[in-house]
Amino acid sequence: MKKTKWKQLVAMCLVAAITVGTMAGCVQKNGTDSASGDAAEQNENVLNVYTALEDDQIADYLEEFKEQNSDVTVNITRESTGIITSKLLAEKDNPVADVVWGLSATSLLVLKQEGMLEPYAPAGVENVLEQFKDDADVPSWVGIDAWETAWIVNKEVLKSKGIDTVPTSYTDLLDPKYQGLIAMSNPASSGTGLLTVNGILNLYGEEEGWNYLDELDKNVAVYMHSGSQPAKETATGEYGIGVSFGYRCLLSAQEVGSDICEAVFPEEGSGWDMEANALIKKDGEKEIAKRFLDWAISDNAMKKYATNYPIVATGVGGTIPEGYPENPVEQLLPIDFNVAAQNREATLEQWSERYDAKSAQKEQ
């Protein structure tokens, strides 16, 4: 017995010695650059792209780039706008993403204010309209298209509740007969949710805007994770009205047929935002990242975007996709994105204070 104890002691000392030894090798004084060894060397064959573009669009858009750069592994991180934004913010000191592709301008402005973007003028940036890019000489971000608030109405669901009108304005949505029938996206996680809230605050002004949202909240059944989800689930008949964005509403309405669903662009105008690209500031930005940004505003890419959105960064496309308002630019409310970006955090905090707690209370 004594022998085993002794051995155990030796063994434990050995382990301890090894552990301490390794640990000591790992200890460093704060402030020394731990990343000096591995960060500077950038692998040009790997491109990390963060994006909030729609899942079903990405593969189609990306096809050409992948063909041209078959030796490059493109890692796509796709999440809703809010999640991509907080991910980028959290990784600020040690960014994973090389480029951001198709993230809302409001979010990119937040990143710019945090000093996370490296200005870069992609080839062909002169073709992009003034209001679609950062106003500096070498822009920090460049837009690709615009998307706007719209809702989809499931007429069949409304009919089953004895309603035969289709709400066409924000004011219509407050009608008590729609109580519990509206699905909307949560601005904390969804860019569509945020631009809708921004649009409403812009339209009614700060105070009246929140009053409107309070009223709207009475009719809302659920706040959803992504911008698409309200439209998709309204199309499957789970809800009567899904507040989402133009592209998704039109597509979902088309899928189920116009006799059942209808996409509506609000009479008062739509909150909107741009999907835009940017280069993330790093120790050494990759050449392939810049090439990607060049490609992402090339004519061919713009043509692809234009199949889904009527307004792209080079202007209103030749043919407006079916279902959009005839003059898509007029539909957009005049939103100051710099202000929206500055207020983003405050708006989200206000929103979750009002409706996160409330939605839980309602259940009780």
Partner 1 sequence: MSMIREKLEQITREDIMRFVALYSVAAFLVLFLVCPLCILFAKAFQYKDGSFAGFTQFIKYFSSNAMVYSISNTFFIAIVSTIIAVTLAFLFAYSLSRKNVPMKEFFRYVGMVPLFAPTMLLGIALIYLFGNKGMLTTLGIQIPLYGKVGIIIAESIYCFPVATTILMVAFSAADNRLYEAADTMGTSALRKMLTITIPNVKYGLISAIFVAFTYSFTDFGAPSVVGGNFNVLATDVYKQVVGQQNFNMGAVVGIILLFPAVLSFVVDRITSQKQSAAISAKSVPYQIKPHKITDFVATVFCSIVAIAMILFFAVALFASLIKLWPYNLTLTLSNYDLSHVSAGNGVIGFRNSVLISLMTAFLGTILTFVGAYMIEKNYRFPLSRKITYFLSIMPLAIPGTVVGLSFILFFNASAFQIPFTDYSIINPFHSIYGTIWIIMLANMVHFYSVPFSTATTALKRIDREFETVSESLNVPFYKTLWRVTLPMCFPAICEMWVYFFVNSLVTISAVVFLYFPTAPIASVMIVSMQGAGQTAPAAAMCMVLLFINLGVRLIYEIIHRRQSHGI
Binding site for partner 1 (CB under 8 A): 3-4, 6-8, 10-12, 15, 22-23, 26-30, 34-35, 48, 55-56, 58-59, 62, 75-80, 82-83, 86-87, 89-90, 94, 96, 157, 188-189, 221-226, 228-233, 236-239, 255-257, 260, 352, 356-357, 359-364
Based on CB atoms, which residue is closest to partner 1, 56 or 175? 56
Residues 6+ apart with CB under 8 A from 299: 124
Closer of 242 and 266 to partner 1 (Cβ):
242
Closer residue to partner 1, CB minimum distance, 152 or 335: 152
Looking up tokens 């993230």 gives 103
Residue type, 130: E
Least separation in angstroms between CB 18 and partner 1: 10
Least distance from partner 1 to the Cβ atom of residue 46, Å: 9
Task: Report, in Å, the least distance between residue 352 CB and partner 1.
Answer: 7
SS3 for 263-295, per residue?
Answer: EECCCCCECEEEEEEEEECCCCCCHHHHHHHHH
What torsion, rounded to 10 degrees, do the Cα atoms 161, 163, 164, 167 define? Answer: -120
Q: Closest CB to partner 1 among 190 and 202?
A: 190
Minimum CB separation of residue 74 from partner 1 in Å reads 9
Residue placing its CB nearer to partner 1 in the complex, 161 or 303 = 161
Is the CB of residue 123 less than 8 Å from the CB of residue 294?
yes
Cα→Cα distances 111→121, 280, 306, Å: 17, 9, 26
Taking the complex as a whole, the smallest distance from the CB of residue 357 to partner 1 amounts, in Å, to 4
Give the nearest distance from C-beta 115 to partner 1 in angstroms: 17
Ranges of H-type helices in 47-154: 55-68, 81-90, 105-113
Within 10 A of 275 (CB to CB), how many other CB atoms are there? 25
The DSSP bridge partners found for residue 103 are 276
Cβ nearer to partner 1, comparing 80 with 270? 80
C-alpha 301/C-alpha 287 separation (Å) is 19
CB 168 within 8 A of CB 332: no
Structure token pair of residue 306: 């234009």
Cα–Cα distance, 361 to 363 (Å, whole number):
5
Task: Name which of 144 and 332 has its Cβ closer to partner 1.
Answer: 144
- For residues 113-149, one letter each, b for 16 or more C-beta atoms within 10 angstroms of the residue's C-beta and e for the rest, the string is eeebbbebbbebbeebeeebbbeeeebbbbbbbbbbb
Q: Which is nearer to partner 1, 140 or 189 (CB)?
A: 189
Query: Cα separation of 81 and 246, whole Å?
Result: 16
Q: Give least dist CB 13 to partner 1, A.
A: 12
What is the 8-class DSSP label of residue 136? S
Cβ 153 to partner 1 shortest distance, Å: 14
Q: Smallest distance from the beta carbon of 139 to partner 1, in angstroms?
A: 26
Q: Is the Cβ of residue 75 or residue 327 nearer to partner 1 in the bound state? A: 75
